[in-house]
Structure 1
Amino acid sequence: MVDFPGFSLSGAVASFFLILLTMKQSDDFKVIGPAHPIVAKIGEDALLTCQLLPKRTAIHMEVRWYRSEPSTPVFTYRDGAEVTEMQSEEYRSRVEWIEDDTDKGSVALKIYNVQPSDHGQYWCHFQDGTYCAETSLQLKVAGLGSAPDIHMQGTVESRAQLVCTAEGWFPEPEVYWENTTGEKMLTFSEHHIQDEDGLFYVESTLVVRDASAETVSCVIHSPILSEEKGSAVSIPEKLQTELASLQVIGPSQPMLVRVGEDIQLTCYLSPKANAQSMEVRWLRAHRYPAVYVYKDGDHVAGEQMEEYKGRTVLVSDAIDEGRLTLQIHNARTSDDGQYRCLFEKDGVYQETSLDLKVAGMGSSPAITMKEWKDGEMQLICSSDGWFPQPHVQWRDTEGKTMPLFSEALTQDHHGLFHVETSLLVRNSSIVNVSCSISNSLLGQEETRTFSLSGW
């Protein structure tokens, strides 16, 4: 490692770009790389190589490996030593310079423990004095994830809905369904989510029209490795399981909760059945990540959506009767919408949907006045903390609606609405006006009256 006393990063970057401006493409030598992309599996090591032509020693040259920015290299070798001052943070302690053939102009860089973020283009750059040459190469990172799981919903009008899920794949895999003869089947929907590590979760849905004698397979294929994993399911067999004859029941009407209150999502099996050995999920649009997952008698924290972590409690005292309640603390505007409650056992699931309406009453309106023009007055009414979008009205002394001059609605980072509306008063005989802001879900309003006497 080379240390530079009094080293300044900003000064080094400026010097580097100054060098770039003065460098010339070499007619003396060129750089070549591998003819084909380098393939490495996640967790393995990757070896990047390039070669000077004609062959010559590179011991006293600068060799720089970089991605998009030469100023933040993956690795820099200069005068026989590693230079780390400007090295990209994600590659520190993960790369090694292989010196075996440096005297012949052949250089190699090993990247340890390859990650999805390492996928892409790299540049190998040689500099000899003011002359330089470089080439690019591709590193293709791939990871085989889990084998697909197939979950089946009980039939409705002889149709069965199958959901295939898998996780841990990279890059985004191909998903397809096929029947017993190997023919591909038309997918109803498909959903891909990339997690914080860059790995993909996939969810594919198939609707089978005739469930009486179907066996189907779900296949997940890696386009880079040309490898795949598959699972098959026999629908008639699944329809003989316990859960296939049950229903999941939820509230018949939308649930209404105020911002800041606790939410209770209750669903149950009918007829009553012990759900202790079942998996129960509360979902939004997709199976993963979930609002809450109960499995093997415990909460599965790793599958929970970030916005619900630390806010959920499961009430399971009636689980032996198939009744469960999920409490979500401190309702937010983002909680508004549809939820699904799903019971699953032996690869068969039944579900119901629950509609949640979140409402927030805002502050009492504040009214201010300013002179407009030609003796007219402009009244401005404002209020904060409303959800959903409120309805605003101005009324005169007799309670008649007055036309708005302007209205603006904005949402803060909590999703709550701030409303600001204005009214032009031209008639000096008007004594009082009122500004009313109402929440249609709660059937409530906040009103402020303003006196114009003496105007």
Structure 2
Amino acid sequence: CGTNHQFDEILMHLSFTVVVPGDPIAAHVGSTVILPCWISPPENAEALEIRWYRHDQFNNPIVFYRDGKLQDVQECFRNRSSLALRSDQSGGLKDGDVSLQLEKLTFQDEDSFHCEVSGDRKYDSKVVDLKITGESKERNQLQKVSDMNLFMNLMNPFRPCYWENMPVSETAKEVCVFMPVNV
């Protein structure tokens, strides 16, 4: 039995590979980030289906592109997600660039994002990890406690600091500030 080399060659032209960076993408809370994703060999992706989603949320995509337009997206990403160019030299969808742009990043955005591209007898998917940098949640909580304590002490400089039933770390207890008031 021989193989049909002509058929194998046709199948190779019908397929592509989704490519993403090997390392996680790091971005600062509040900023905008592009999660690079493209198909290789480059081909026009305008007629393909592009789906960006989080783990176990295939049916609730962040971005879903089909029939030449963006479809409905996840509520928490509405007005802050889109397809974008991965670089200034990118030709966009016409060159197979299917990168995802996320704006106004929050700590909750840190996750693994799946980039899936499919078409007539073509399909591939890869994962991009997003890490969010910036002030930690505990530091933000510490600042809120510190601000509240400062305000209370400005209003009553002789009020002692109470920490019972306060969800703060041990280091937060050192933040108690007393402001003397001229009498």
TM-score by length of 1: 0.29
1:81 aligns with 2:72: no
Decide which of 46, 71, 77 is 1:91's aligned counterpart: 77
Q: Percent identity?
A: 22
Change (3 A) 1:72 1:145: closer
RMSD, aligned CA: 3.2
1:345 aligns with 2:169: no
In structure 2, what is the Cα distance between the partners aligned to 1:49 and 1:279? 54
* Rg comparison, structure with higher value: 1
- After TM superposition, give the deviation of residue 112 of structure 1 in Å: 0.9
Q: Structure 1 counterpart of 2:76, which letter?
A: E
1:132 aligns with 2:123: yes
For the 8 Å contact 1:279–1:344, the answer to whether it is kept is no
Higher relative contact order by CA 8 Å / sep ≥ 6: 1 or 2?
Answer: 2
For the 8 Å contact 2:16–2:122, the answer to whether it is kept is no
Decide which of 148, 164, 168 is 1:288's aligned counterpart: 168
Q: Deviations over 1:211-231 (max 9, x none)?
A: xxxxxxxxxxxxxxxxxxxxx
Q: Deviations over 1:233-280 (max 9, x none)?
A: xxxxxxxxxxxxxxxxxxxxxxxxxxxxxxxxxxxxxxxxxx932553
- After TM superposition, give the deviation of residue 58 of structure 1 in Å: 0.6
Q: Deviations over 1:182-203 (max 9, x none)?
A: xxxxxxxxxxxxxxxxxx659x
For the 8 Å contact 2:26–2:130, the answer to whether it is kept is yes
Change (3 A) 1:201 1:67: farther
Q: Structure 2 counterpart of 1:76, which letter?
A: F
Where do residues 218-233 of structure 1 align in structure 2 (5 Å cutoff)?
Answer: none
Change (3 A) 1:344 1:105: closer
- After TM superposition, give the deviation of residue 55 of structure 1 in Å: 1.3
Where do residues 265-304 of structure 1 align in structure 2 (5 Å cutoff)?
Answer: 276-278=156-158, 280-286=160-166, 288=168
1:45 aligns with 2:17: no
In structure 2, what is the Cα distance between the partners aligned to 1:123 and 1:62? 13
For the 8 Å contact 2:15–2:123, the answer to whether it is kept is no
- After TM superposition, give the deviation of residue 119 of structure 1 in Å: 0.2
- After TM superposition, give the deviation of residue 287 of structure 1 in Å: 6.2
- After TM superposition, give the deviation of residue 53 of structure 1 in Å: 1.1
Where do residues 371-450 of structure 1 align in structure 2 (5 Å cutoff)?
Answer: none
Change (3 A) 1:80 1:27: closer
In structure 2, what is the Cα distance between the partners aligned to 1:93 and 1:344? 41
Match of 1:167 in 2: 139
Decide which of 75, 89, 93 is 1:102's aligned counterpart: 93
Match of 1:29 in 2: 16
- After TM superposition, give the deviation of residue 93 of structure 1 in Å: 1.1
TM-score by length of 2: 0.68
Greater fraction of residues in strand: 1
Runs of 5+ in structure 2 lacking a partner? 1-12, 86-90, 144-154, 170-175
Change (3 A) 1:283 1:97: same
In structure 1, what is the Cα distance between the partners aligned to 2:129 and 2:177? 44
Runs of 5+ in structure 1 lacking a partner? 1-25, 147-165, 169-199, 203-274, 290-342, 347-455
For the 8 Å contact 1:280–1:344, the answer to whether it is kept is no
For the 8 Å contact 2:45–2:95, the answer to whether it is kept is yes
Task: Give the SS at the match of 1:283.
Answer: coil
Number of corresponding residues? 146
In structure 1, what is the Cα distance between the partners aligned to 2:34 and 2:142? 28
Match of 1:56 in 2: 43
Q: Which runs of 4+ in 1 moved over 6 A?
A: none
- After TM superposition, give the deviation of residue 130 of structure 1 in Å: 3.9
For the 8 Å contact 1:56–1:103, the answer to whether it is kept is yes
Where do residues 196-345 of structure 1 align in structure 2 (5 Å cutoff)?
Answer: 201=142, 276-278=156-158, 280-286=160-166, 288=168, 345=178
